Amino acid sequence: MNDLMLRFIFFNLEIIMQGVVLITGASRGIGAACATLAAQQGWDVAVNYARDEAAAQRVVAQVQAMGRRAVAIQGDVGEEADILRLFDAVDRQLGRLTGLVNNAGIVATGMRLEGYTWARMERIMRINVLGTLACCREAVKRMSREHGGTGGSIVNLSSAAARLGGANDYVDYAASKGAVDTLTLGLAKELAPDGIRVNAIRPGLIDTEIHASGGKPNRAFDLSHLVPLQRPGTADEVAQAAVWLLGEASSYCTGTIIDVAGGR
């Protein structure tokens, strides 16, 4: 058997053996792009969503059309009981988890600090920080060699806001993403002996519906003059980096945070 044939077989085995990934907030935007790209690269995908079941089912259909298994599972990652139910559903419907993309995240209406209510700040921290930590915890119980697992890979969606600070718009959101960076670095070190890699992506201005939920639907285009590459990024461009970090191609990366921000 020559070298070319061996490489062909290895490539196809790798595609078959990627495993099961849960992607939170995968009904649209960056999460949906990660789901379809992960499926293309051989992952079975659990598509979590909060409210829009029809959108989640469309992503499931796209994954299934690529020959991979997929299920849509509702659950608010700001609620611990929902997270526990979500992971149990993945166990039952797809089997043991080997990948997690902590993508679900929210912003609130852009404003200065004086306007922040306690409820706003609490909601952002619950979903962006506590949800990410608790999803990592549940994933570790399934992936860790200490718990009978075979290891795994976690990718967290941070934001360039963690570096930039979000002044006058959403310092609370930026701070929550700073926490995502920090927990990525800490868990990467803590979980390496368990066979689990933990990495993160910091997207910049990406053209998704998140900006509308912050009250500025055109924000990614309106601010593109601040971006060295002079345009917003796409969800697919973020997914390329996230799915690379998720898979075996990045096997020597842990605690790595990749900026996908057009140079900003």
Q: Does 199 interact with ligand NAP (rule: CB under 6 A)? A: no
Q: Which stretch binds ligand NAP (CB under 6 A): 5-13, 74-82, 141-149, 183-191?
A: 74-82
Residues 215-234 that bind ligand NAP (CB under 6 A): 220
Burial 150-186 (b: 16+ CB within 10 A, else e): eebbbbbbbbbbbbeebeebbbbbbbbbbbbbebbbe
Question: Could you tell me which residues are beta bridge partners of residue 196?
Answer: 152
User: x-or-dash pattern for ligand NAP, window 81-120, by CB under 6 A?
Assistant: ----------------------xxxx--------------
- Other C-beta atoms closer than 10 Å to the C-beta of 118 total 7
Q: How many helices (H) and strands (E) does the chain have?
A: 11, 7
CB-CB contact of 173 with 210 (8 Å): no
In whole angstroms, give the CA distance from residue 83 to residue 34: 20
**Active-site residue flag, 173:** yes
CB of 151 to ligand NAP, least distance (A): 25
In the block, tokens 């992503």 appear at 59
User: x-or-dash pattern for ligand NAP, window 30-59, by CB under 6 A?
Assistant: xx----------------xxxxx-------
Q: Which stretch binds ligand NAP (CB under 6 A): 76-84, 146-154, 163-171, 243-251?
A: 76-84
In whole angstroms, give the CA distance from residue 125 to residue 138: 18
CA distances from 128 to 4, 38, 158, 243 (A): 45, 22, 9, 20
* Of 116, 170, 173, 252, catalytic: 173
Which backbone phi and psi does 95 adopt, to 5 degrees? Answer: 95, -170
Q: Coil, strand, or helix at residue 23? A: strand
Q: Does 184 interact with ligand NAP (rule: CB under 6 A)? A: no
Of 124, 125, 205, the C-alpha closest to 160 is 205
Q: Does 157 interact with ligand NAP (rule: CB under 6 A)? A: yes
CB of 214 to ligand NAP, least distance (A): 9
Amino acid at 70: A
Number of chain positions touching ligand NAP (CB under 6 A): 31
Residues 125-154 that bind ligand NAP (CB under 6 A): 127
CB of 112 to ligand NAP, least distance (A): 20
Q: Does 262 interact with ligand NAP (rule: CB under 6 A)? A: no
CB-CB contact of 50 with 75 (8 Å): yes
Q: Which stretch binds ligand NAP (CB under 6 A): 64-72, 135-143, 207-215, 240-248?
A: 207-215
Q: Does 175 interact with ligand NAP (rule: CB under 6 A)? A: no
CB of 244 to ligand NAP, least distance (A): 16
Which residues lie near ligand NAP (CB under 6 A)?
24-31, 48-52, 76-78, 103-106, 127, 157, 159, 203, 205-206, 208-210, 213, 220
Q: What positions carry a catalytic annotation? A: 173
